[in-house]
Amino acid sequence: MSEQTPAAVFLKDYKVPDFLIDKTELTFDLDETQTVVTSRLHIRRNPESDAATAPLILDGGEDVKLIGVAIDKYELPKEEYNVSNDKLVITATPDAFILTCETLIEPQNNTRLEGLYRSSSMFCTQCEAEGFRHITYYLDRPDVMSVFTTTIIADESRYPVMLSNGNEIERGKTEDGKTFVTWHDPFKKPAYLFALVAGDLEVLNDTFTTMSGRDVALKIFTEKHNIDKVDFAMDSLKRSMKWDEEVYGREYDLDIFMIVAVDDFNMGAMENKGLNIFNSSCLLASPETTTDDAYLRVEAVVAHEYFHNWSGNRVTCRDWFQLSLKEGFTVFRDQSFSADTHSDVVKRVEDVSFLKTAQFAEDAGPMAHPIRPASFIEISNFYTLTIYEKGAEVVRMIHTLLGADGFRKGSDLYFERHDGQAVTCDDFVSAMEDANGVDLTQFKRWYSQAGTPILNVTDSYNETTQTYTLNVSQMTPPTPNQPTKLALHIPVRAGLIGPDNQPLSFTVDGKEQTEVVLHVNQAEQTFIFENVASRPVPSLLRGFSAPVKLDYGYTTDQLLQLMSGDVDGFNRWSASQQLAVNELLNCVQQYQAGKDLTEESSLVSGFESLLADSTLDSAMVALILSLPSQAYLSELSGVIDPHAIKAARKHLRLLIASSLEKEFKKIYEANTVTDAYQASAGQIAKRSLKNAALSYWVASGNDEAKSAVVRQYRNADNMTDQFSALSIIVNNQLAEADDLMSAFFEQWKHESLVVNKWLMLSASREQENGLVQIKELMEHPYFDIKNPNKLRAVIGGLGQNVETFHNLDGSGYAFLADQIILMNKRNPQIASRLCTPLTRWKRMESRLSEKMKSQLERIASQDLSKDVYEVVSKSLA
C-alpha cells in the first residue's frame, strides 16, 4: 500500500468555490514531447463564498510542469506561490485579476489517456472528470463555468486539422511559419467539457436544419482509412437531433457540431461541447466489418453524446456526486430514442437483462453505492452501471409516475430554470415536482439508498366475493455503510391474466381497468382487486417498472401461461427467463450433488410452440431462445460455482438442441436475408433469429448443420453472419475451427476493430492450455497494450473462458492480477476496471474465493494509484 492512504471526499462537505473564472484563454503550442500551454484566466472572488480572504488554490497534476505564473502583468517570484500535492497555491490575490500561467506537458508520454495525449498520429484530449488539471492549473470542478477561447499552434503539414470547442474565429501563420487556429465557444462550460484535436484527418460533411430553421454544419472526422465508415453515425446524428426536438423540444445551439473518432480511449465517448470525441469502436460502422450489435451501439452512443448537449452541457452538474443527474437522465433519453427507432420491447429486454446481470451484481458487492454517492476516493471509479443504468431506471420511474406529458412538463421546467447552471439531482426532482404539483419526497430515497430492493409477493383469491389480494413486502439488503434501509416508493405496473389467456378486468380505486400501477411505499402492504371473474395469474412489474428483484412463487404452468399469453411483451420474455433460470439452477444443484442432470425440460415444449408461432416478432423469439447467461446465473447464485453453472447451461442447450433439431433447421432456412445489408429492425431481427437457430442446430451435432455453418461463414457478405458463424464453429469445436480462425485473422488484420473481435474470440476459446494461448495473444504483433480496446478484448475473452479464468489452481486470477499491477501506474482507470471480477470474491465457492482473495492481497501490497487502491481496499474490507 502507498505511504499515504488516499482520502475520501464527501458530498456533505460541498462548498461553493472561493473564486470564479469568467473567461479562459488558452494557447497550445503543440509538440509531441513538449507542449507549452499558456492560460489567461479572468478570475474574481465568488460573492457567494463566505471566505473573503481565502487563498487561490488551483488543481494540477504531477505530469504538469509549471514554467511561470503572473497576476495581471506581475510575474510572481517563487516566494509568492507554492506548488505541492498537485496544487498551485497563491495566498495573496486581488479581488479580480488575470492569472497567466505557463505549463509544460508531454503528450507522447501520457499513457493514462487523460488530459492531452497522442492516439496514433493525432493529438486529442479527455478531460472528464478531472483530466483538465493534467493540461494546466485550473479550478477543475464542474461548478466553475467559463467562456473558453482556444488557440492551437502546430505544423500544418502534419496537423492540417486543428479543432476545439465552438466556432473557428481566426486562422493564420506565426512568425516561425507554423499555423494557428483560434476557436471560441460562447457557452459557459466547466473545464471537463473542454476538447482539442489535431491531426491529419478526413472529414464527412453534412447539414441539419433545426426546428427554428437554422442550418448547422455537421462534421465527422476520422483518420483517412476510416472515413468510409461514418455514414451510419452521421445518419444516427441527424435522427437524434430531430428526435430531441420532437420529444423534448430541445434545439441544437451552435452553428457547428463535430465528432472525432480516436483509437485509444478509456471509455465509449465524450460529450465535449460542440466537439464530441469517440472511441472508434462506438463510431465506425460498415456492413462488412461491423455486427448488428455494434451498429446499434454506434447509434445509441451517437444519440447519447448528442443528447448531453442539453442534459449535461447546457445544464451541468454542481459536483461529481451529482453525476447521475446527467448520466442517468441521458441514458434514459438514449434508451427511449433507440426504443422509438426500433422495437421498444426488444430494447427494454436488452437493457433490463444487462441491468439485472451487471448492475445488480455491483449493487450486491463491495463497491455498492447509491446513484448519488455520499463519498468517493477517485471519481473515475464512479462511472458505474449504478450511476448510468440504475440512474436511468430512476428517471424512468419518474416518467412512469408522471406519465409522458407530466414528465415533459417537468423536463421543460428543468431546462428553463437551470439553463447555464451547474445543479443537483434535487433540482431535477424539484422541477418534476413543481411542474406537476406532486410530492416526491419519499421517492427521493432512490437517490441516497444503495442496493437492489427485493419485493416479496403472495396472493389469494376469494371466489365468493371475487376479490383478489396481493400482499407485497419490500426489503433492501444492507450495503457498505448502509446497514438499514427505509421503504422506497416503488411503482409496480401490473395486470391479471385469466385461465383462457385473456387479460382479466378488475376494479381498483373504484375504477374498472386491465392494468394498474401499484404504489408500493411501505414495508408491507395489501392491494385488493375487486370484480375479478376467476383466479388469475398475476403479471407483475410489467415493462420492468422498477429496478427490483421480484419474488413471487410462480409455478411452471403459470410461467408457461404468461410466456404465451401475457399482453405485456416484456413479461412474456421475463416468464421465459424465469422458467429457464429455474431449470438451470436445478441442474446446478444436481451437478454439485454429483447426480446426472435431468433429461426433462419444460423449456423444450415452451420453445416448440414458440418456434411454431409465425406471428411472433423474430427478435423476441431470438431473445427468448438465448438462455440466461453465465454472468446472470452467477448473480442469482448465493454461492457462485462457475463450473457448475457452465455445465448446467451446456447440458440444457444440448437437450434443447437435440430435441428440436428439425425445428431449428426450419427456422434457420426460413430466415435468410436476401436484401442488401441494412441495420434495420426488420433485418436485425431476422439475422438474430436465424443465427440463434443455427447455433442450436449445430449444437445438435447434425452434419448438415455443420456444413451449413461453414457455408454461411464462407458466403457471408456482412460481419454479423460471418462472425456468428465463426463463433458457432469455434464454440462447438468443429474441425474447421483452427483454419477459419487463421483465415479470419488474415482477411481482417488491417481492420483494427475486427482484430479486436478476433482477439476476444481467441481468448474465450476453450483449449487445453488456455492461459498459454492468452499469453501468446498478448505477445501477438497485432496486440497493443496501450490500446484499451485491445486489452479489454483479451481480458474480456479471458473472463468468458470459464475453464481458464476460474482454474482451481488460481492461475487465471494470478494472470489478471499481473495485468492490473502492470496497468496500475500506466493507466489507473483501466487497471481499476480490470479489478471488477475479483471484487466478487466473497460470493465465490470457497476454493476459488480463497484464490481470488490472495490475488487482491497481492495487488494491495503494491504502491497503488488512487483508482486501484479504492476498489481493492473496499473489496478486502
Which positions lie near ligand PHE, rule CB under 6 A? 126, 128-129, 267, 269-271, 304-305, 327, 383
Binding partner selected for residue 269 from ligand PHE, Zn ion, none, CB under the kind-specific 5 to 8 Å limit: ligand PHE
Tell how strand 179-189 and strand 167-173 pair up: antiparallel
Closest CB 356 distance from ligand PHE, rounded Å:
21
Q: For residues 27 and 153, give the distance between their C-alpha atoms in angstroms, rounded to a whole number.
A: 8
DSSP E strands: which ranges in 292-426?
316-317, 375-376, 422-423
Q: For residues 319 and 424, give the distance between their C-alpha atoms in angstroms, rounded to a whole number.
A: 8
Binding partner selected for residue 528 from Zn ion, ligand PHE, none, CB under the kind-specific 5 to 8 Å limit: none
Residue positions counted in the chain: 877
Q: Which is nearer to ligand PHE, 271 or 583 (CB)?
A: 271
Q: Which is nearer to ligand PHE, 324 or 576 (CB)?
A: 324
| Helical packing angle, 618-625 and 681-699, nearest 10° | 40
- CA 255 from centroid of its chain's CA atoms: 29
Q: Which is nearer to Zn ion, 136 or 330 (CB)?
A: 330
Give the Å distances, CA to CA, from 3 to 132, 415, 725, 869: 26, 46, 52, 12
Closest CB 330 distance from Zn ion, rounded Å:
5
Q: Which residues pair with 84 in a beta bridge?
A: 87
Binding partner selected for residue 270 from ligand PHE, Zn ion, none, CB under the kind-specific 5 to 8 Å limit: ligand PHE
Candidates 305, 362, 378, 870; catalytic one: 305
First to last CA, the chain: 14
Closest CB 170 distance from ligand PHE, rounded Å:
29
Q: Which of 131, 127, 174, 178 is nearest to 154 (CA)?
A: 178
Closest CB 333 distance from ligand PHE, rounded Å:
11
Q: Which is nearer to Zn ion, 330 or 341 (CB)?
A: 330
Helix, strand, coil distribution of the chain in percent, nearest 5:
45, 20, 30
Binding partner selected for residue 267 from Zn ion, ligand PHE, none, CB under the kind-specific 5 to 8 Å limit: ligand PHE
Closest CB 308 distance from Zn ion, rounded Å:
6
Q: Which is nearer to Zn ion, 41 or 262 (CB)?
A: 262
H or E segment and range at residue 468 = strand 467-475
Q: For residues 380 and 323, give the distance between their C-alpha atoms in angstroms, rounded to a whole number.
A: 11
Q: Which residues contact 527 (CB under 8 A, 6 or more apart)?
A: 469, 470, 472, 508, 518
Binding partner selected for residue 128 from ligand PHE, Zn ion, none, CB under the kind-specific 5 to 8 Å limit: ligand PHE
Binding partner selected for residue 363 from ligand PHE, Zn ion, none, CB under the kind-specific 5 to 8 Å limit: none
CB 480 within 8 A of CB 467: no
H or E segment and range at residue 528 = strand 524-529
Q: Which is nearer to ligand PHE, 61 or 569 (CB)?
A: 61
DSSP E strands: which ranges in 156-280?
161-164, 167-173, 179-189, 196-199, 201-209, 215-223, 256-262, 269-270, 275-279
- Give the number of C-alpha atoms closer than 13 A to the C-alpha of residue 803, restricted to the C-beta side: 13
Q: Which is nearer to ligand PHE, 241 or 693 (CB)?
A: 241
Binding partner selected for residue 63 from ligand PHE, Zn ion, none, CB under the kind-specific 5 to 8 Å limit: none
CB 196 within 8 A of CB 28: yes
Closest CB 330 distance from ligand PHE, rounded Å:
7
DSSP state of 29: E
Q: What are phi and psi of 722, to 5 degrees?
A: -65, -45
Residue list 325-344, contact with Zn ion (CB under 5 A): 327, 330
All cell numbers assigned to 789: 480496446
Closest CB 383 distance from ligand PHE, rounded Å:
5
Active site residue 223: no
Closest CB 257 distance from ligand PHE, rounded Å:
15
Closest CB 829 distance from ligand PHE, rounded Å:
8
Q: Which is nearer to ligand PHE, 304 or 489 (CB)?
A: 304
CB 547 within 8 A of CB 446: no
Burial of residue 679 (number of CB atoms within 10 Å: 0-12, 13-18, 19+): buried
Residue bearing cell 437435440 = 658
Closest CB 271 distance from ligand PHE, rounded Å:
5
Q: Which is nearer to ligand PHE, 115 or 547 (CB)?
A: 115
Q: Which of 704, 699, 578, 602 is nearest to 650 (CA)?
A: 699
Binding partner selected for residue 126 from ligand PHE, Zn ion, none, CB under the kind-specific 5 to 8 Å limit: ligand PHE
Peptide bond into 129 cis (omega under 30): yes
Tell how strand 516-520 and strand 490-497 pair up: antiparallel
Give the Å distances, CA to CA, from 523 to 443, 481, 490: 14, 21, 11
The string of DSSP codes covering 379-393 is: GGGG--HIIIIIHHH
Binding partner selected for residue 59 from ligand PHE, Zn ion, none, CB under the kind-specific 5 to 8 Å limit: none
Determine the residue type at 102: E
Q: What are phi and psi of 148, to 5 degrees?
A: -100, 135
Residue list 785-814, contact with Zn ion (CB under 5 A): none
Binding partner selected for residue 401 from Zn ion, ligand PHE, none, CB under the kind-specific 5 to 8 Å limit: none
Q: Which is nearer to ligand PHE, 114 or 292 (CB)?
A: 114
Contact code string over 308-327 relative to Zn ion, x by CB under 5 A: -------------------x
CB 96 within 8 A of CB 43: yes
**Sheet hosting strand 467-475, strand order edge to edge:** 524-529, 467-475, 454-462, 549-551
Q: Which of 739, 744, 855 is nearest to 807 (CA)?
A: 855
Closest CB 276 distance from ligand PHE, rounded Å:
9
Tell how strand 196-199 and strand 201-209 pair up: unpaired
Q: Which is nearer to ligand PHE, 327 or 663 (CB)?
A: 327
Q: Which is nearer to ligand PHE, 9 or 567 (CB)?
A: 9
Q: Which of 275, 250, 316 is nearest to 166 (CA)?
A: 275
Closest CB 349 distance from Zn ion, rounded Å:
22
Note the residues at the interface with Zn ion (CB under 5 A): 327, 330
What residues are labeled active site? 305
